[in-house]
């Protein structure tokens, strides 16, 4: 398969920034957005359990309602797409069995052949110590998906801005998440930068590689 060159990858990552102002008139092409949605689906997770859902908020009224609970960040209403990342509040035996059925379906193997794997998941993320912190674990998985979305978007020339400045409880209320088993953890605005976003031209500030990467 064809792949990007290292310089091309780094160029995309240097081009990416936390977009502060989006062009509300510019739309993401359908095929590009579909690829980004697939990137979310293809994100790796622990055990492959995918303990999250991604809410694509299309209704302008909903976005307007979310705005005051997002530190009034205009990206919420101006970006072409707004994705809210929600995480499972607990993991159950039913969640594990759902994955087992899916593996059996996709890989054409009997579910009984996956019993050892099923028991491993149950003893860890359902009945084990991590099961007591399932939301924390699921939130970490959601952030892997967030990073994957932002990187893939940059490679495709699409702008993003991660939005942690929000009130999760109000998001849950507005998006009617109560009782669903999912809660809001973070959001991401996706679209194209406005021509007058002064932040687009600022030099990217990062520590030196020697400060962050250490060989042991």
pLDDT band at 3, cuts 50/70/90?
confident
pTM to 2 decimal places: 0.96
DSSP 175-196: TT-TTTTEEEEEEEEEE-B-TT
Local confidence band at 2 (pLDDT 50, 70, 90 cut-offs): confident
CB neighbours of 149 closer than 8 A, spacing ≥ 6? 36, 39, 40, 43, 83, 160, 188, 190
Alpha-carbon span 151 to 160, nearest angstrom: 9
Asked if 160 and 52 count as a contact pair (C-beta separation under 8 A), the reply is no
pLDDT given for residue 27 in this prediction:
98
CATH number (3.40.50.720, 3.30.1330.10, 3.40.109.10, 3.90.105.10) of 6-212 reads: 3.40.109.10
32-46 residue pLDDT tens: 999 999 999 999 999
pLDDT tens-digit profile of 129-170?
Answer: 999 999 999 999 999 999 999 999 999 999 999 999 999 999
Written in H, E and C, the secondary structure of 47-78 is HHCCCEEEEECCCHHHHHHHHHHCCCCCHHHH
Residue 73 has what pLDDT?
A: 98
- Using DSSP's 3-state secondary structure scheme, residue 18 falls into strand
Beta strand ranges found along the chain (DSSP E): 52-56, 81-88, 159-163, 182-191
Q: What is the dihedral of CA 39, 4, 211, 150, to 10 degrees?
A: -20
113 pLDDT tier (thresholds 50, 70, 90): very high
State which H helix or E strand residue 6 sits in.
Answer: helix 6-15
Query: What is the full DSSP assignment across 124-165?
Result: IIISSGGGGGHHHHHHHHHHHHHHHHHHHHHHTT-EEEEE--
Q: What are phi and psi of 3, to 5 degrees?
A: -140, 160
């Amino acid at each position: 398969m064809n792949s990007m060159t290292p310089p091309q990858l780094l160029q995309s990552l240097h081009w990416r920034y936390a977009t502060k102002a989006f062009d509300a008139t510019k739309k993401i092409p359908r095929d590009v957005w579909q690829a980004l949605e697939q990137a979310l689906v293809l994100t790796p997770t622990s055990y492959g359990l995918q303990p999250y859902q991604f809410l694509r908020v299309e209704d302008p009224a909903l976005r307007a309602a979310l705005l005051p609970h997002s530190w009034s960040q205009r990206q919420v209403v101006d970006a072409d797409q707004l994705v809210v990342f929600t995480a499972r509040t607990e993991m159950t035996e039913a969640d594990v069995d759902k994955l087992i059925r899916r593996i059996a379906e996709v890989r054409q193997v009997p579910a009984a052949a996956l019993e050892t794997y099923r028991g491993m998941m149950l003893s860890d993320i359902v009945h084990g110590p991590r099961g007591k912190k399932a939301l924390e674990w699921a939130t970490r998985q959601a952030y892997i998906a967030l990073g994957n979305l932002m990187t893939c978007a940059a490679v495709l020339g699409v702008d993003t801005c991660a939005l942690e400045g929000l009130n999760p409880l109000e998001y849950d209320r507005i998006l009617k998440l109560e009782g669903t088993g999912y809660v809001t953890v973070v959001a991401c605005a996706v679209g194209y930068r406005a021509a007058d976003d002064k932040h687009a031209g600022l030099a990217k500030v990062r520590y030196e590689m020697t400060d962050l990467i250490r060989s042991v």
